[in-house]
Structure 1
């Protein structure tokens, strides 16, 4: 009985975690890897469900099944955040007096396109940066170190073509 409960719990954690990653791949348009993950996700789910459906008179199994689902959501989102698949667009608005940030980022190899803009509080620069997703927070942190009042927006591009992207 204990082995069965542990199996149900771990199976749910695994299948829901896989489901989280699969959904992100689908949204990004990566259909083949998503389909492969989906195959294993539903296989694991079906086995775990079979162990619970046949034992609905044992509420502990249902509780373990649901607990595995909840933890799977949490772990799946953490896993997705850690592997940080794909790319991210970062749009930054800074005061013009902080224009040195543009050159500093370029010297570090980041692709920065910028243009002048006017805001409520005066002259601004808008920076457009496109990079690997796992680098986006680090770039934003560098910008905030130099201009704590910077306005930073992260965007998830689904498709792009051309341009320059920093690889590492």
Structure 2
């Protein structure tokens, strides 16, 4: 077999660092998504992603050790790590796995906002509370992460001055989710 291509500057300083870069992007992206799957309790996806993450990492690091005198491989490795974090977060954002709790606090009447959320199919819990200087309405809803934008749109159109926060939720036991069967009927 002709090894002259593998000894060329094109391979050593171009293709090899490029392969290392893309390997790191892939394995770090898998790692980012794996961590999210672990935190969400996905017991099947986390180990599968972990297997491929480590396999790809081993392939990349073995090339680094075979080319310790090639500084471009180090730069590609580090750049691939940084880019992999970014790509992994973008993928995780698009997947929007899991559920979240939305808490909305409004100073004006919450009646229309409650009606709009309910009409859109969201289950809500509501109560009045005392804020620092006045009575406020607090609305809670548990939603799928993919629905955050829709809920935000309803809130900002109904009450643009409302304060809201979004928190991750690991699991729920009954509730109402748009497009799904009502879980809460019965005891």
TM-score with structure 2 length normalisation? 0.85
Where do 4+ consecutive residues of structure 1 move more than 3 Å? none
Structure 2 unmatched runs, 5+: 1-10, 181-187
Distance 2:120 2:158 in 1: 15
Distance 1:16 1:10 in 2: 10
Q: Which has more radius of gyration?
A: 2
The residue that corresponds to 1:68 in the other structure is 80
Aligned positions of 1:81-160 closer than 5 A: 81-160=93-172
Q: Secondary structure at the match of 2:149?
A: helix
Structure showing the higher helix proportion among its residues: 1
Match among 51, 57, 61 for residue 63 of structure 2 = 51
- Cα offset for 1:3? 2.5
Contact 1:132 1:167 in 2 (8 A): no
Alignment RMSD (CA, Å): 1.4
Contact 1:96 1:123 in 2 (8 A): no
Distance 1:162 1:146 in 2: 27
Distance 1:65 1:163 in 2: 46
